[in-house]
Structure 1
Amino acid sequence: MERSFARREILGAAAALGAGALLGPLAGAAEAAGPAEAGGAWPTRLLLPDGFRPEGIAIGRSPYAYFGSLGTGDVYRASLASGRGRVISKGLGAGRSVVGLKIDRQERRLFLSGGFSREIRVADARTGEIVRNFGVGAADSMVNDVILTPGAAWFTDSFQPQLYRLPLDRHGEPGREVATVALSGDWEQGTNFTANGIERTPDGSALLVVNAVAQGGSLMRVDPRTAVARRVDLGDLTIPFGDGLLLLGRHLYIVQQQRNQIDVVRLNDSGTKGTAIARITDPRFRIPTTAAAWGHRIYLPNARFDVEPTPETEYDVVAVDQV
């Protein structure tokens, strides 16, 4: 997500962490990519409802994509095979957005970032019912993006130097409390929007978080035990407009939304160093924000932060080939 909702639309107490904070190894690239059928005649452009205002995307083990609305907090599910979809979870109304979202491996729960409402929500992926709703942060906090690990759901706060950790049991059931985790080390907090997308390292030992401020836009590696952040060596690559992160094997896809591009970085296993290997651009990009994979494709919602949103504004999702 960009600097704030206003900028996006117009221009755009630390908790102790135990062994449960370890992330676990990343799933194999073949599983992450999905079956080969997700190509060919399947559409490379999906239409969303007019006025929907998408930001996040989640794809689970089935060929369906989930999108959250910045406007109303609705969650829309679309078939990747046909492009057809519907709202499966009704939002809580204006000001209670869904920014980032993820679906668990069992495809039973959706984990939703509530933006400036400072809410972390968990919804039943089949009925759309909100089954957990946590209030976090301070008055100027913004819950932005989320990543799921074997022991927790981790959320970024774009205006405070902290993450939020919602513990998950071995069945994926969320706990009853969210821990606020203060960032330290190399973390540099700006006066405005700072943290954005979040992922895991290839070996699952740490978190990767976009910092839009440090050295012109950096990727930070955060130790989940200590919350100490260290800047990832990306060579000459800066990511001032870095938004969503998507890790497939050791390839990290960094969506740079205002630049209408995806920078692809090959990481070492621990995520301390990366080499830029490709840049994906497409004339259909209209400020894409986040990315998810199915088959050999990457799917990205176009947030269109360069236009004033109206109930008639057209929104879509485009698919590009993986590197």
Structure 2
Amino acid sequence: MTPSPRSAALAPAVLALAAGLLAVPAPAVAAPTTAPSAATTALPATGSWGAPWCRLPETVPLPTGSLPEGIAGGRGTTFYAGSRADGSVVVGDLRTGESRPLVAGVEGRVAVGMTYEARADRLWVAGGATGAVTAYDGTTGAELGRWVVPGSGFLNDVEVTRDGVYVTDSAVQRLVVLPLGRRGALPGPDGATTLPITGDLVYGAGFNANGIRAYRDALVVTQSSTGDLFRVDPRTGVSDRIEVSGRDLTGGDGLVLRGRTLHVVYGFSTDSAAVVRLSPDGRSGEVVGEVGDPDLDRPTTGILAAGALWLVNGRFAVAEPATAEYQVVRVDLR
């Protein structure tokens, strides 16, 4: 997940981004957003959660001025979306199009990439230029832990495995790691570690390691500035380039993975997501298609739910972001 602009030089981009994020006034969290789009489409009989008569909204509204970027899929059609303005989080239902506040905003906080850990009902949130990783209770929104990692550049996206939580830093060539103990026990306040990235992935100007997803025994990471995909060993940090044939993936942001199908979301080149078919060992892949929707406006990342791909509209080019409308957009897969 990467705020605009992604093509700027590394150090100035990160510093300017941090200043811009913290300067945005925190929007008021008012009544829950409840108005789904009037335009709906019947869910095919093969949908994962309902019968053919069930209907899904084309767009799901998010709080005005929330500056969303990250989204995580919970149980069923539950979703979570965060705010770059104040770190607040809403929880909603893609089936009904309704959402409500889950985590209140705090001045100076930022919510960027996020993921939901179903086994422990925990929501993990990357804090961008604040250098923080925060865990919340997925039901109550209670803060379970917060780790601020010194020397961080821009903590961007999050993935959880059986052994730990891995966070990309788009400005510093390393992963932030929160080891998980027996039965998923959280580390102590000083328990965050860092794992230098070595091998094929070499940082340069612009945003580097961005989206991250676990595949087989490795972590798949996209480098936004080059468009390359890499396998990163979660134990050693050694990276190997994934040989991908097909269209250029430069500018890729969030990653959505199910099975061997990887969606690489674009918010600054096209309002769409490339569809990559990975090899069984994850060492190669092929771009086999692209999906999009007219309602998309600088999408950042997404989730798969109810037989569709749902992408967050980051709307980074909007003139007045603090008063702008934001949405999660349903993209039908074909």
Q: Say yes or no: TM over 0.5.
A: yes
Match of 1:227 in 2: 237
Counterparts of 1:310-321 in structure 2 under 5 Å? 310-321=321-332
**In 1, distance between residues paired with 2:48 and 2:182?**
24
Return the offset for 1:62. 2.5
Return the offset for 1:308. 3.4
Equivalent residues, number:
295
Of the three residues 90, 95, 98, the one matched with 2:111 is 98
Q: TM-score, normalised by structure 1?
A: 0.86
Q: Tell me if 1:187 matches 2:201.
A: yes
**In 2, distance between residues paired with 1:322 and 1:148?**
26
Counting strand residues as a fraction of each chain, which structure ranks higher?
Answer: 2
Match of 2:311 in 1: 300
**In 2, distance between residues paired with 1:132 and 1:308?**
35
Q: Tell me if 1:56 matches 2:70.
A: yes
Match of 2:169 in 1: 157
Q: Tell me if 1:116 matches 2:126.
A: no
SS in structure 2 of the partner of residue 106 of structure 1:
helix
8 Å contact 1:242–1:257 — kept in the other structure?
yes
The 3 A distance-change label for structure 1 pair 73 and 37 is farther
Match of 2:25 in 1: none
Counterparts of 1:196-215 in structure 2 under 5 Å? 196-201=210-215, 204-213=216-225
Higher relative contact order (CA 8 A, sep 6+): 1
Give the letter aligned to residue 82 of structure 2: G
- Give per-residue Cα distances to partners, 1:87-144, cap 9 Å, x unaligned: 11113223x1000111111362111101111001111122212121111141x61111
Give the letter aligned to residue 143 of structure 1: L
Give the letter aligned to residue 49 of structure 2: P
Over the aligned positions, Cα root-mean-square deviation in angstroms equals 2.1
8 Å contact 2:252–2:267 — kept in the other structure?
yes
Question: What percentage of aligned pairs have identical amino acids?
Answer: 34
Q: Tell me if 1:174 matches 2:177.
A: no
**In 1, distance between residues paired with 2:52 and 2:324?**
28
Of the three residues 66, 77, 100, the one matched with 2:91 is 77
Of the three residues 218, 229, 235, the one matched with 2:228 is 218
Return the offset for 1:38. 9.2
8 Å contact 1:34–1:61 — kept in the other structure?
no
**In 2, distance between residues paired with 1:245 and 1:83?**
23
Of the three residues 31, 34, 56, the one matched with 1:42 is 56
8 Å contact 1:60–1:107 — kept in the other structure?
no
